[in-house]
Amino acid sequence: MEISRIRALRGPNLWTRNTAIEAVITCSEAELSIERLPEFERALRERFPDLPAFRPDSDGLVSLAHVVEIVTLSIQTMIGCPVTFSRTSRTVEPGVFQVVVEYDEESIGRQAIELAEQLCRSAGTGDSFPLSAALEQLKERYEDLRLGPSTGSIVNAALARDIPIRRLTEGSLVQFGWGSRQRRIQAAESDRTSAIAEAIAQDKELTKKLLRAAGISVPRGRPVDNEADAWQAALSLGGPVVVKPQDSNQGRGISVNVIGEQAVIAAYRRAAEVSTDVLVEEYLPGLDHRFLIVDGRLIAAARREPPQVTGDGSLTIAQLVEQVNADPRRGSGHATSLTKIPLDAIAVSCLAEQGYGVDSVLPLGVRVYLRNNANLSTGGTATDVTDDVHPELAASAVAAAHAVGLDICGIDVVCETVLRPLEDQGGGIVEVNAAPGLRMHLTPSFGKGRPVGEAVIAMMFPDPGDNGRIPVVAVAGTNGKTTTVRLIENILSRNGYRTGMTTTDGIYVEGQRIDTGDCSGPRSARNVLLHPDVDAAVFETARGGVLREGLGFDRCNVAVVTNIGQGDHLGLNYITTVEDLAVVKRVIVENVAPTGYAVLNAADPIVAAMAESCPGSVIFFARDRMHPTLVAHRANGRRVVYVDQSDIVASEEGFEHRLPLSAIPITRSGSIAFQVENAMAATAAAWALGLSWDVIAGGLGAFVNDAVSAPGRFNVFHYGGATLIADYGHNADAIAALVQAVNAMPSRRRSVVISAAGDRRDEDIRRQTEILGHSFDDVILYEDACQRGRHDGEVMALLREGLKGCSRTERVEEIQGEFVAIDLALSRLQPGDLCLILIDQVEEALEHIDRRLAEVAGSGAA
């Protein structure tokens, strides 16, 4: 068995809407069925007793690839990952399988499949494999990576509101929504949590000063400089004191109810280990409470108790702690609802103050504390008291949050009861905390949990119908994608949207290119959705990105599929037929929002069939108004776009709108058929988004198909009386469409400059010149430096083969270098000629042509 490729599919993909690991696994003849591997399954189950039963394939066989699939999924479920989907599929290559397994955290998914491979190999060789230790290590890693309860509750609340989420780091920084409507959190801080307010909350003395000025009850006290000063401060307060760092969190370094000089000095030292600034303040008798304030409202309140154990007359304190820590709700860190009680030096010291040691056997019913503070992070417990809080006490907590300036904060209150105002019982607010922990309110030890995540999301997205999304259009197909994307973007911009756009030549935001190269993949789409200035997005969605990584978004408002035709890139990534290719292109249709639309080419039967996979509605388009698919759709009262005489017509039951082709420059009054189809697709997409017809007409009319607006997309130039066309046509369908357009343009003599990508099939390369040879007099074949795996001369030989028996071509020449070939073609042009240049290096070739045009203009020949 060999695993030759592992990919992370980070968005909706060919197999599932979930994130997944995809691996290519090659099995030997014997490994095609584990029944041919004696003792393998027995050895595997000895190592992994919890492994579920295997699912045979359609031939009733379980290959080693299928075993890896099930083991990978099972490993993740064993450590607590919420994953359910897996699949193994045969490829066209004998013994080669694609294995797909859902993941929750990418690195965990990758490690799981590596462990699965190692486990299977050990079962085959008889070597031992420490699975339990590996699972424990993987579980620890997962606990470190996955979102904690606080952040997780907010994320889950967002998902329940259909707000898209994106985790920006391995920590707790998360983006909600897209583009200009996005918001961000980090743990329980929002992107509008004031940095000044956070700094105030960290300075406990300053916080008290501000609260006291607002008339809120706080304990007396002051900062101290050293041990002696700490004791003097304690003496001046005249009773038990609290000694704590001035800027700590999670209860670190805090000592409460401290009495006596030696105890105060010891407490000072503990606090000084955490911070150079130490505070001594009066100890307020009462119980420890935490109030959660979100957006000026009390959302939850909990009474907290320090970590404690109660004697049974037989077990030692250490054994009692071990017993308490066995509670499955208790874990390490903040991933679980409760934290294990640490039996450390602080716990030992706290026990000593009560007259016990860790080996002491507590009498029945006697309770001891392991900490003087009640933080959950050190093993404390919480009881929900939200419904009992007196309105005046709640108002004091809200006023404290307002005084500090925090939108989300935890207010620490010490009082005997929450049933009475603070002033009536001598209680006070002892701390105000930024980024408060939420787990005590989500899953308290006693009482009901509170919807605190929902409260945070409601603060960030106050309109219940706001899901933080911007309009997203995805465009796929074999040809016409880039032009259609640019047309749609132009219409959206005319509507006042600040648009983001991805194409094969870059990422554009508000018309400015912010990245170059082929940006038709999911990473580029995600980058646009990250941009804070984008109100609407249009994504060219190439098959390669979908296969490599899935989509860059969870769903779109509109999915446009221009065509499939004879296909492109066949023979790569196990995509061998047009039907296979259609399955890849169909992914955007499968992920249309229920309220959205798929815009489909009715004249392409493979594209039209995608309508069955659309969760939303469908708009069909075709030039032929009598196309059966179009007619049937229109008869059902649904939306269609077609050409009638000299107009593009958008029609729905009881509605019709016409757009004159003469007012859409790229169609040349309807003479360029493929541009008419691109314009229809863009019209349908804009209609689906609910844009006005004036905006749609203006966007189509203002779009100029030049080398700046649409580089390499039927760019027409005038060169010394001749017509020059530069296009990035790179497959047989595109070339057929170009030939149809050229045939509609007058010319004396025609020439074409062409090469081909070496990673296409032989028949696809030959087919290009078979089409051209019937419409062009002169053909110049060029070969460039990058042949994509082909030997020198191999591509040109295939192109020559395609020209055999052509009816029109008279002269064929072979040239090394794209620019040399362009110069040769230009040097032969006479007035009235037409030259089609099928460019490869789009920007460089257009710049080269532009220089030649400038030279001709300078000579006065143009």
Closest to 813 measured CA to CA, from 804, 802, 825, 805: 825
CB 240 within 8 A of CB 259: yes
pLDDT of 404 above 90? yes
Is 240 a member of any domain?
A: yes
Q: Which residues contact 245 (CB under 8 A, 6 or more apart)?
A: 252, 253, 254, 271, 272, 274, 275, 277, 278, 279
pLDDT of 790 reads 81
Q: Which residues contact 367 (CB under 8 A, 6 or more apart)?
A: 308, 309, 310, 311
Is 278 a member of any domain?
A: yes
Question: Do 234 and 251 reside in the same domain of the chain?
Answer: yes
Is 205 a member of any domain?
A: no
Residue by residue, DSSP assigns 576-626 as -SHHHHHHHHTHHHHTEEEEEEEEEETTSHHHHGGGGG-SSEEEEEEEETT
pLDDT of 200 reads 96
CA distance 788 to 765: 13
Is 210 a member of any domain?
A: no
Terminal CA-to-CA distance of the chain, rounded, Å?
66
CA distance 347 to 556: 55
Q: What is the largest CA-CA distance in the chain?
A: 110
CB 232 within 8 A of CB 291: no
Question: Do 670 and 792 reside in the same domain of the chain?
Answer: no
Distances in Å between the Cα of 423 and the Cα atoms of 280, 419, 420 are 22, 12, 8
CA distance 726 to 712: 6
Question: Do 740 and 844 reside in the same domain of the chain?
Answer: yes
Torsions phi, psi for 264 (to 5 deg): -65, -45
CB 813 within 8 A of CB 796: no
pLDDT band at 831 (very low <50, low <70, confident <90, very high): very high
Q: What is the three-class DSSP state of 3?
A: strand
pLDDT of 576 above 70? yes
CA distance 850 to 860: 15
pLDDT of 862 above 60? no
CB 413 within 8 A of CB 422: yes
CA distance 199 to 201: 5
Is 544 a member of any domain?
A: yes
What is the rounded average pLDDT of the residues 215-237?
A: 94
CB 706 within 8 A of CB 715: yes
Angle between helices 261-272 and 345-353 (to 10 degrees): 170
**What residue numbers bound the domain in which 166 lies?**
149-193
Integer Rg of the chain from CA: 35
pLDDT of 335 reads 63
The 10s digit of each residue's pLDDT in 439-479 is 999 999 999 999 999 999 999 999 999 999 999 999 999 89
What is the rounded average pLDDT of the residues 115-130?
A: 95
pLDDT band at 712 (very low <50, low <70, confident <90, very high): confident
pLDDT band at 860 (very low <50, low <70, confident <90, very high): low
Question: Do 80 and 160 reside in the same domain of the chain?
Answer: no
pLDDT of 568 above 60? no
CA distance 58 to 40: 22
CA distance 460 to 462: 6
What is the rounded average pLDDT of the residues 288-302?
A: 97
**Other Cβ atoms closer than 10 A to 648:** 28
The 10s digit of each residue's pLDDT in 259-270 is 999 999 999 999
Question: Do 742 and 757 reside in the same domain of the chain?
Answer: yes
CB 699 within 8 A of CB 662: no
Is 466 a member of any domain?
A: no
Question: Do 821 and 766 reside in the same domain of the chain?
Answer: yes
Question: Do 505 and 628 reside in the same domain of the chain?
Answer: yes
What is the rounded average pLDDT of the residues 405-413?
A: 97
pLDDT of 249 above 70? no
pLDDT of 623 reads 96
The 10s digit of each residue's pLDDT in 645-684 is 999 999 999 999 999 999 999 999 999 999 999 999 999 9
Q: Please, what is the Cα angle at 210 between 204 and 211, to 5 degrees?
A: 85
pLDDT of 46 above 70? yes
pLDDT of 333 reads 65
pLDDT of 560 above 60? yes
Domain boundary among 460, 485, 505: 460
pLDDT of 785 above 70? no
Is 678 a member of any domain?
A: yes
Across the chain, mean pLDDT equals 93
Question: Do 692 and 555 reside in the same domain of the chain?
Answer: yes
Residue by residue, DSSP assigns 261-324 as HHHHHHHHHHHHTT-S-EEEEEPPPSEEEEEEEETTEEEEEEEEE--EEE--SSSBHHHHHHHH
Question: Do 516 and 609 reside in the same domain of the chain?
Answer: yes
Q: Please, what is the Cα angle at 474 between 472 and 477, to 5 degrees?
A: 170
CA distance 852 to 858: 10
pLDDT band at 240 (very low <50, low <70, confident <90, very high): very high
Question: Do 167 and 239 reside in the same domain of the chain?
Answer: no
What is the CATH classification number for the domain harbouring 748? 3.90.190.20
CA distance 173 to 165: 11
The 10s digit of each residue's pLDDT in 174-205 is 999 999 999 999 999 999 999 999 999 999 88
Domain boundary among 119, 144, 169: 144
pLDDT of 287 reads 92
| pTM > 0.75: yes or no | yes
CA distance 53 to 44: 12
Question: Do 523 and 659 reside in the same domain of the chain?
Answer: yes
pLDDT of 289 reads 96
The tokens of 158 are what? 């967002």
Is 658 a member of any domain?
A: yes
The 10s digit of each residue's pLDDT in 349-371 is 889 888 999 999 999 999 999 98
Q: Domain total for the chain?
A: 6
pLDDT of 123 reads 96
Least confident interval from 316-325, 373-382, 561-570, 597-606: 561-570
Question: Do 567 and 517 reside in the same domain of the chain?
Answer: yes
Top pLDDT among 24 and 807 is at 24
What is the CATH classification number for the domain harbouring 480? 3.40.1190.10
The tokens of 347 are what? 């716990």
The 10s digit of each residue's pLDDT in 743-783 is 988 899 999 999 987 777 888 889 999 999 999 999 999 98
- E strands, 157-269, in order: 165-167, 173-176, 183-186, 189-190, 221-224, 241-245, 255-258
CA distance 665 to 752: 24
What is the CATH classification number for the domain harbouring 428? 3.30.470.20
Distances in Å between the Cα of 531 and the Cα atoms of 11, 499, 514, 537, 551 are 19, 10, 11, 10, 17
CA distance 728 to 275: 65
CA distance 250 to 256: 14
